Amino acid sequence: MKKRNIIIDCDPGIDDIIALSFAIANEDKLNILGITTVAGNQSIEKVTSNTLKLISFFNKDIKIAKGQKGPLLREKCVVSKVHGENGMGDYELPEPKIQLSSDNAITFLRDTILNCEDMVTLVPIGPLTNIALLIKTFPEVVEKIELLSIMGGSTDVGNYTPSAEFNVWADPEAANIVFKSGIPIVMSGLNVTHTTGLYREDVDSLLKSNGKVTHMCGKILDFYFKGDHVNNGKFTPIHDACSIMYLLYPEIYKYRHMKVEVDCSEGLNRGNTVADVRDWVNYDETYPKVLLEVDSDKFTEILLSELYKLDNIMK
C-alpha cells in the first residue's frame, strides 16, 4: 500500500506531542513531508522550539517550518494554561540538534505541496491561521490537497468557552476560510475527542516505563491530567491524536457529512462551529465529514501500543 503524504500543522502542546509521536511511529504508512508550527497552546517561539526538540529527540530529519505568531484579526493569541509554561507540561527535552528548514510556514507549505508528485494530506491540529493564509495566498495548492484532517470545533460542547473549542476560537476567521475552501475535510471535534483517550492507569504505566519515549509521554500526560477537567481525572482526551488516528484507522469512526460554518461574531458564540447535525437534513459528500463516534477502546489500545513501539525504534 502506498504511503500517504502528510504535513502536520501544530502548536505543541501536550496532545500535539503525542500526535506527532504517534505519526512518527507510523512512518511505514505516513510519509511525513514536514511539520509547520503555529501560535496557539503557546507562543510561536515556544511551540517551534518544542517541535525542533521533539524531532531531534527522535533523531529524525523531518523538515520544520515556523508559522504565524498570532491569528488573522486579533492581535495577540491567548495561550492555554493547560500545557504549562513551556507548552510541554514543563517537561524539558534536550536542546535541538536540528534547525528550521524555513521561517515561513506558508511558503514552505506551498513549495512542499507543489513539489510533491502526488496529492498531500494536511493535518492541522492547532489554530488554522497558516492553512487559511496558504489557501488565500497560494490558491494553486488547493487542488493538490487530498484532505484536511482537522482537530478543531465541536458539534456540541466547547472547552475554551461554553460554545467554542480552543483551536477554532483562537482564529475563527481563519477557520471560516478553511471550512469554505472546498478542500475535503475530516473534522475531529470535541464531540468525538472527548469520548476517548487515555486512562489514569495508562499514564501511570507510561510513567513507570524505562523506554525513553514512553517515559517522556508519561511525564507530559501526567501534567495534562491536572489541567483536564473531563471525566474526573480518570481519563483524559488526547484531542490531536484523533486526526492522525483517522488517517490510519478510519474504520473505527462513525461520521456524517454536513455543513459546517464558523461563527465570527463578537458575541457569545465566537468560534462556535455551527455543524448542521439535524439528522433530517441531508448533505452530500462535498460537505465536511464530521466524526461523530469512535470505538473508544480500540483508540486507546492502538494509541498506547504505538507509543510503546517507539521505544523499540529508538533503541
Q: Which residues bind a copy of itself (CB under 8 A)?
A: 68-69, 72-73, 75, 104, 106-107, 133, 136-139, 155-159, 162-163, 173, 176-177, 180, 229-230, 259, 261, 263-269, 272, 274-281
Query: Which CB, 16 or 263, lies closer to Ca ion?
Result: 16
C-alpha pair distances (Å), 136 with each of 131, 140, 199: 9, 9, 41
Starting at the edge strand found earlier in the chain, the sheet holding 289-294 runs: 64-65, 30-37, 4-10, 120-124, 145-151, 185-188, 289-294, 253-257
Pick what 104 binds: Ca ion, a copy of itself, none; C-beta below 5 to 8 Å, kind-dependent.
Answer: a copy of itself
Q: Find the shortest distance in angstroms from Cβ 43 to a copy of itself.
A: 15
Query: Which CB, 113 or 206, lies closer to a copy of itself?
Result: 113
Pick what 126 binds: a copy of itself, Ca ion, none; C-beta below 5 to 8 Å, kind-dependent.
Answer: Ca ion
User: Is residue 125 at the binding interface for Ca ion, with CB under 5 A as the rule?
Assistant: yes
Q: Find the shortest distance in angstroms from Cβ 261 to a copy of itself.
A: 5
Give the strand pairing for 64-65 and 273-275: unpaired
C-alpha pair distances (Å), 149 with each of 66, 187, 217, 250, 273: 20, 6, 23, 11, 16
All 3 cell numbers of residue 134?
A: 496558504
Total residue length of the chain: 315
CB 39 within 8 A of CB 127: yes
Pick what 296 binds: Ca ion, a copy of itself, none; C-beta below 5 to 8 Å, kind-dependent.
Answer: none
Q: Find the shortest distance in angstroms from Cβ 74 to a copy of itself.
A: 9
Query: Which CB, 97 or 229, lies closer to a copy of itself?
Result: 229
Query: Which CB, 53 or 66, lies closer to a copy of itself?
Result: 66
Active site residue 239: yes
Distance of alpha carbon 65 from alpha carbon 60, whole angstroms: 15
Query: Which CB, 207 or 277, lies closer to a copy of itself?
Result: 277
User: Is residue 16 at the binding interface for Ca ion, with CB under 5 A as the rule?
Assistant: yes
| Residue 69 CB burial class (10 angstroms; 0-12, 13-18, ≥19) | middle
Give Cβ neighbours of residue 143 (< 8 Å, ≥ 6 apart).
none
Choosing from 13, 71, 89, 158, the residue that interacts with Ca ion (CB under 5 A) is 13
Q: Which of residues 137-176 bind Ca ion (CB under 5 A)?
A: none
User: Which of 83, 194, 215, 239 is labelled catalytic?
Assistant: 239
Catalytic residues: 239
